[in-house]
Structure 1
Amino acid sequence: MTIEHERHVTRQRWNTVPYPRATAERYRAEGLWRPRTIPAELREVARTHPGRTAVVTPSARLTYAELDQRSDAIAAGLCEAGLRPGETVILQITNSALAVATWYGLLKAGLIPVCTLAIHRRHEIEEIARQTRASAHLVQADLRGFDLVAFAGEIRRLVPTIRLLATIGAKEATAEAVRIEDLADRPLTPADTGQLAAIDAAADLDAPAVFQLSGGTTGVPKVIPRLHPEYWYNAVATARWWRLTADDRLGFGLPLVHNAGLTNAMHAAHAVGAALLLATPVADDLLALMDDERATWFMSPPGLMNDYLRHTRFDGAFASVRTCVLTAAKVSRDLFDAIEARGVRVTQAFGMTEGLFLFTPPDASRELRATTVGVPISPLDEVCVLEPGTLRPTPPGEVGELCARGPYTVPGYLDSAQGNLRAFTPDGFYRSGDLVRGHQLDGLTAYSIEGRVKDLINRGGEKVNAEEVERILLDHPAITDAALVAMPDERLGERACAYLVCTPGMPAPALEDLRDYLESFGLARYKWPERIEIVDALPRTAIGKIYKQSLREDIARRLGVAPA
């Protein structure tokens, strides 16, 4: 197959919205989009820093040379297993050094990773696999509490395009699945090296490299195509913002195969030859790793920071941290002050999988760092604040919907013509659904997050689409009306509370009954209600919509906290 044919096949496979030609040419001319793939970027860094540490976990360590070699072997093995450039692979894996090597191996094989999470279940995975026409499913075989291998077998029966199952963490090989461990250990041949070089040369830089998922406001998440040049630039801009160098060591415990994990942590570290310190959010594991490796940068949701502050290894883990980034939830002034009282400088960040990042400048004043999520990180980011549902800008300092376009903000979702009409303005600004207010501080316009237009619950950084869960609840025979709302939570920021109106003559379902029902439906556990309130009727507006603000205020009163 010729290089040009490979490019044609890859581009024609997907119905994506291209960046406007003039805009893309400007990003290239400005040097933001480099004419190379993510694997090519990694190879360059590996040549420059072969002996430096690329990734450290509690049980493994890889240099850049080792990461490059192991990801090559994985890529060659996936090609040998029958996968072809442009095909997609559903990912449900956890944090490990092998996961990092596998990520780059997938890209080196010309495959498109589909970034689902290990906690997603049938409701999400089946539809996403169909949307992306998945050819393979990679799962964590040793995930605690759930058999992802058996689950992948179920998905394979439901989605006929899936022809390969691969695993990380399986103890032994089976006829049903390819072990990534076996691929990573295989010796590379000259033919393998030539094949991978040809795949990289054939890569279409205007075709999808990665499929990420939106938080979604209706149904399952929408699919977000990310391209090699813009996705790597996103990481480069992040690394420059935080002034990262090859001497830095980035502590990270959130899911790696997620936009924040890839862009803010792994790709940002690897863009400059720094080390990624990768664990899970469990304080014992993460803080021990940061302490032992002298972490210099760290990112976390505010809720988890409360756990870390109480841990005996906090001071050691943060002794060398010069940048502590709080993200994914509102930061209270008490928490901000408590962390800084321990000698750690706090900054904030806000990001969306569709693109725009707002970060507080590292040298910003205390007021800006404590009260805002900052400013756009690229000189070519464009931000406007519009009255929700209109094209009218809000007056300066007034609350409105955050809208953006720029060199790493996507121009559209996959196969979603109607969704794109709602999600983007006619001139290409993405409507984030987040309400913001601009503040004039330090000579900059910095933004604070004031709420949401979209009906989402932010559970520790994972977005729960209320309408999606409500639709499922309304299929329960004992429920006639349902509303899912955010309730305040010290650790995660928000959790979900379901207000239910029950069918006359039927017993109200208990919380455990409801969870059993949602599990049987195949809904991911993090979307389940964590409290229910039985009411006679739901409050409604004059035009008949559920008045959710009233319910949010009600649950806050019941919990004895001030409503958001």
Structure 2
Amino acid sequence: MDQTPHRLSSSRTLWELLESRARLGPDRPLFLQDDRVLTLGAFRARAERVAAGLHGMGVRPGTVVAWQLPTRIETALLSFALARLGAVQTPLIPFLRDREVGFALRESKAEYFAVPGVWRGFDHTEMARRLGARGVFEAYDDLPEGDPAVLPAPPADGTDVRWIHWTSGTTSDPKGVLHTDRSLIAGGSCLAHALRPTAADVGSIAFPYAHIGGPDYTVMLLLYGFPAVLFERFAMPEALEGYRAHGVTIAGGSTAFYSMFLAEQRKRPDTPVVPSLRLLAGGGAPKPPELYHAVVREMGVRLTHGYGMTEVPMITMGDPDDSAENLATTEGRPPEGMEIRIVDGEVRLRGEAVCRGYLDPAQTAEAFDEEGFLRTGDLGRLTGTGHLVLTGRLKDVIIRKGENISAKEIEDLLHRHPDIADVAVIGLPDADRGELVCAVAEQPPGARELTLDALTSHLRAEGLSVHKLPERLEVVDALPRGETLRKVLKYKLRERYSGTVK
């Protein structure tokens, strides 16, 4: 049985992976949501009926189908039904609105668009009609079904582009990222083999299933044969009931999720917030070392953090049995088959999990170097043991009086300050210095008033060079965050403060 996950990871397509796992344990649960349980066998059978229903609507191999749906069992069913047909699917995060959705529909040339109707007070069907979307149908509770006898053979080639995922588009139009079944299986395999779950585990998907992490995480479930709880809406402390009721053992999503669990734990320090929990895992945003130590110390669970992006869903992942130093200060090591090269400080990647490029050929040409390595825009270094340390973003380097300053270095030190709950460091235009260093901080409840003098005194005590000290401090109730993995949106902070002088 130990070799089963590795054999399954050689599956050519996602549908083949599902069929293989369903044959091994058809009665084992795959998805749990509220009081619903869907087994592997039932999931496979119903996904095939939904594929037949979609076929009856006119969806064929290669048909582009967009969907903007919340994290639900029905969403996973629709996605695998499209995989069974060999359609090209383009998932959209449910929180996107007219500008981003309209752009994605036009660029992908979507022929069908599945929406949830009215969800969380917003009418997605009306937006779709307003945008002139084709083939609009609602797929929240009810999915089209039919007789699987009408279906063509499942796709056999996992190297065709069948996925168009979208980058966040924080400062310009989003990019359509092209993936294959094989690239998604490779990414999910990295996550799965690094975390080494067992069939006794219970995972959780508390982020949008439309995120690249949706198929990534589902691949892990299928490789190791364990279920996950789906959360249509994640909010603390309300979500804790679901974690406890289903006995979740592996939770997480990103750095913000770790912080939310830790905040709940601190309300009752002597009682485990989720008694069954043994591991927090995730990626998608920088992890301050102090947060790692606080989670392990106060929650009594392991924490492993990884590095991924829409273009490469999983690049490196921490090993639960690694040293505390490596787990706190690195992003883990890459799996076999992922090549990492550092060029002028930039992390570049080549391997099966790397996307095929972008919908726009010009963007593809710009993103890959002459040897086929993807330029990530992230700065980092490899240690002697092969662990990756990220040091910032190419666009997140502050240039003050000609000197490069890493925003991440300052942020990691500020996370150790007792009166700071979270912080973002940005560069702001300055006539004399080129850029000045500005720290924007959230404070925890009951904290003392934070001043610039107190902040710089802390950084001096931590040994930070004088030329890197912030010259400006802004205290906010909440940092602006994205809706998917709750990453801080620094561009919004730059927009807010670039035009003001202090």
TM above 0.5, yes or no, is yes
**Within 2, Cα distance between the matches of 1:489 and 1:437?**
29
**Within 2, Cα distance between the matches of 1:316 and 1:139?**
38
2:367 equivalent to 1:423: yes
- 1:383 is displaced (CA, Å) by 0.6
Conservation of the 8 A alpha-carbon contact between 2:201 and 2:248:
yes
Conservation of the 8 A alpha-carbon contact between 1:52 and 1:63:
yes
- 1:32 is displaced (CA, Å) by 9.2
TM-score by length of 1: 0.67
For 2:138, give the aligned amino acid: T
Deviations 1:489-537 (A, max 9, x none): 579xxxxxxxxxxxxxxxxxxxxxxx9xxxxxxxxxx899478337378
The one of 333, 336, 349 equivalent to 2:289 is: 333
The one of 91, 97, 118 equivalent to 1:142 is: 118
Conservation of the 8 A alpha-carbon contact between 1:290 and 1:317:
no
For 1:420, give the aligned amino acid: T
For 2:339, give the aligned amino acid: E
**Within 2, Cα distance between the matches of 1:257 and 1:316?**
31
Q: Corresponding residue for 1:369?
A: 327
Q: Corresponding residue for 2:275?
A: 319
Q: Corresponding residue for 1:499?
A: none
Q: Corresponding residue for 1:532?
A: 496
Conservation of the 8 A alpha-carbon contact between 1:32 and 1:407:
no
Q: Corresponding residue for 1:354?
A: 311
Conservation of the 8 A alpha-carbon contact between 2:190 and 2:317:
no
- 1:406 is displaced (CA, Å) by 0.7
For 1:451, give the aligned amino acid: G
Conservation of the 8 A alpha-carbon contact between 1:58 and 1:285:
no
Q: Structure 1 residues 490, 73: CA separation in 2 closer, same or farther (over 3 Å shift)? A: farther
For 2:279, give the aligned amino acid: T
For 2:211, give the aligned amino acid: H
Q: Corresponding residue for 2:220?
A: 268
Conservation of the 8 A alpha-carbon contact between 1:288 and 1:317:
no
Conservation of the 8 A alpha-carbon contact between 1:135 and 1:163:
yes
Deviations 1:43-72 (A, max 9, x none): 121121111110011242211112112211
Provide the alpha-carbon RMSD of the alignment.
3.2
Conservation of the 8 A alpha-carbon contact between 2:11 and 2:17:
no
List aligned pairs for 1:159-558, cutoff 5 A. 162-169=133-140, 181-183=142-144, 186=145, 188-189=146-147, 193-196=148-151, 198-201=152-155, 203-216=156-169, 219-263=172-216, 265-279=217-231, 280-311=233-264, 316=272, 318-341=274-297, 342-355=299-312, 356-376=314-334, 378-387=335-344, 400-416=345-361, 418-440=362-384, 444-454=385-395, 487=440, 529=492, 532-533=496-497, 535=499
**Within 2, Cα distance between the matches of 1:83 and 1:432?**
35
Deviations 1:273-292 (A, max 9, x none): 21011113212343222212
**Within 2, Cα distance between the matches of 1:450 and 1:129?**
36
**Within 2, Cα distance between the matches of 1:486 and 1:146?**
35
Q: Structure 1 residues 487, 135: CA separation in 2 closer, same or farther (over 3 Å shift)? A: farther
Deviations 1:9-48 (A, max 9, x none): xxxxxxxxxxxxxxxxxxxxx9897463211211121121
**Within 1, Cα distance between the matches of 2:97 and 2:369?**
33
- 1:181 is displaced (CA, Å) by 1.0
> 4+ runs of 1 displaced by more than 6 Å?
30-33, 455-458
**Number of residues paired by the alignment?**
413
**Within 2, Cα distance between the matches of 1:429 and 1:349?**
20
Q: Structure 1 residues 411, 125: CA separation in 2 closer, same or farther (over 3 Å shift)? A: same
Deviations 1:85-135 (A, max 9, x none): 211111211111111111111211222210221111222122211221101
- 1:224 is displaced (CA, Å) by 1.5
Deviations 1:394-418 (A, max 9, x none): xxxxxx11101012112422232x2
List aligned pairs for 1:60-79, cutoff 5 A. 60-79=36-55
Deviations 1:140-184 (A, max 9, x none): 2231132111001112x2xxxx43112133xxxxxxxxxx6152x
Q: Structure 1 residues 249, 357: CA separation in 2 closer, same or farther (over 3 Å shift)? A: same
- 1:487 is displaced (CA, Å) by 4.5
**Within 2, Cα distance between the matches of 1:490 and 1:89?**
44
Deviations 1:196-253 (A, max 9, x none): 3x2414x543321211123457632221221122322321232122112322211221
Instruction: Indicate the SS of the match to 2:252.
Output: strand
**Within 2, Cα distance between the matches of 1:232 and 1:243?**
16
Conservation of the 8 A alpha-carbon contact between 2:305 and 2:332:
yes
Instruction: Indicate the SS of the match to 1:282.
Output: coil
**Within 2, Cα distance between the matches of 1:488 and 1:104?**
42
Conservation of the 8 A alpha-carbon contact between 2:18 and 2:222:
yes
Q: Structure 1 residues 255, 486: CA separation in 2 closer, same or farther (over 3 Å shift)? A: farther
- 1:78 is displaced (CA, Å) by 0.9
Conservation of the 8 A alpha-carbon contact between 1:303 and 1:490:
no
**Percentage identity across paired residues of the two chains:** 25
TM-score by length of 2: 0.74
**Within 2, Cα distance between the matches of 1:286 and 1:276?**
14
Instruction: Indicate the SS of the match to 1:329.
Output: coil
**Within 2, Cα distance between the matches of 1:101 and 1:486?**
44
Q: Structure 1 residues 31, 371: CA separation in 2 closer, same or farther (over 3 Å shift)? A: same
Conservation of the 8 A alpha-carbon contact between 2:113 and 2:137:
yes
